[in-house]
């Protein structure tokens, strides 16, 4: 279980996160939602140990700041919003996910190679394996990095707006891959700007408003609370198939 206690964070003198406490349930898909600038990415960066904060984040009771970088990489993986276009191929990129498991030579064991192949299959990008990241589309690149994350095989997957550059079919594929990972026991924590997707795929939701958590709980509870409508300034509509859209 990932626990956030009284977390605050700033950029210089500007405080952007205020006293956030939340529990991220193990084996569940949790979406972080909120308006632009509400602090979603900063919160995820704090959890990924990429932004300084006051307060405490614990993983299974251990303060994450006391866990070594290598151990942390086995427990927690992070997919940022802006993914670099490197000269590497898709297969090479996915293999980087095994870094926490290899020795100093970086040589992949048979187990590592299997994990790389499995991740490539899981993300449906086998046909792109030998392509360089600069030769594929933004959405395909996102799937390649998702496969890198799958190869890393951490218990917790942190993703910052993972479907931003994707068309609807690719977004569906990525979210299905995350759902499968969740079903396999992974904990998924994703910043999501698309409310319809968030409500469709997430078990739990954290809603931020100006750096404060105004809601943290189950998908059904947030739908009942009316907080999405109030904070995001949208109307929700339940369609005949049970899905929600927010306009």
Count of Cβ atoms closer than 10 Å to residue 101 Cβ: 17
Nearer to ligand ADP, 151 or 206 (CB): 206
DSSP type of residue 208: E
- Least CB distance from residue 49 to ligand ADP, whole Å? 16
Whole-angstrom distance, CA of residue 163 vs CA of residue 168? 9
Identify which of residues 97 and 211 has a Cβ nearer to ligand ADP in the complex: 211
Nearer to ligand ADP, 150 or 190 (CB): 190
Residues that bind ligand ADP (CB under 6 A): 11, 16, 34, 36-42
Closer residue to ligand ADP, CB minimum distance, 34 or 162: 34
CB of 17 to ligand ADP, least distance (A): 8
The distance of closest approach from Cβ of residue 110 to ligand ADP in the complex, given in angstroms and rounded to an integer, is 40
Give the ranges where the chain is alpha helix by DSSP (H): 40-47, 69-75, 90-96, 110-122, 138-152, 168-183, 195-201, 219-225, 227-232
Q: What tokens does 48 get?
A: 């990924």
Task: Identify whether the C-beta of residue 195 lies closer than 8 Å to the C-beta of residue 217.
Answer: no
The least distance separating ligand ADP from the CB of residue 170, rounded to whole angstroms, comes to 22
Q: Which is nearer to ligand ADP, 34 or 139 (CB)?
A: 34
Give me the phi and psi of 18, to 5 degrees please: -125, 105
We find the least distance from the C-beta atom of residue 11 to ligand ADP, in angstroms, to be: 3
Q: Distance between CA atoms of 126 and 80, rounded to whole angstroms?
A: 23
């Amino acid at each position: 279980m990932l626990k956030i206690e009284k977390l605050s964070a700033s950029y210089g003198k500007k405080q952007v996160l205020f006293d956030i406490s939340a529990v991220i349930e193990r084996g569940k898909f949790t979406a972080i939602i909120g308006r632009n600038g509400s602090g979603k990415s900063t919160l995820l960066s704090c959890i990924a140990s990429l932004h300084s904060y006051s307060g405490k984040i614990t993983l299974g009771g251990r303060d994450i700041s006391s866990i070594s970088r290598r151990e942390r990489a086995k427990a927690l993986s992070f997919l940022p919003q802006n993914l670099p276009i490197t000269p590497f191929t898709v297969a090479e990129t996915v293999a980087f996910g095994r870094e926490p498991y290899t020795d100093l030579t970086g040589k992949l064991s048979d187990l590592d190679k299997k994990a790389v192949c499995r991740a490539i299959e899981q993300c449906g990008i086998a046909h792109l394996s030998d392509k360089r990241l600069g030769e594929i589309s933004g959405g395909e690149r996102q799937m390649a990095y998702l496969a890198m994350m799958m190869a890393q095989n951490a218990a917790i997957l942190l993703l910052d707006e993972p479907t931003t550059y994707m068309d609807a079919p690719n977004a569906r594929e990525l979210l299905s891959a995350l759902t499968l990972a969740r079903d396999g026991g992974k904990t998924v924590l994703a910043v999501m700007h698309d409310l319809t997707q968030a409500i469709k795929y997430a078990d739990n939701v954290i809603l931020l408003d100006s750096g404060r958590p105004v809601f943290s709980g189950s998908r059904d509870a947030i739908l009942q609370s009316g907080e999405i409508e109030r904070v995001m300034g949208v109307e929700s509509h339940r369609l005949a198939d049970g899905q929600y859209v927010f306009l």
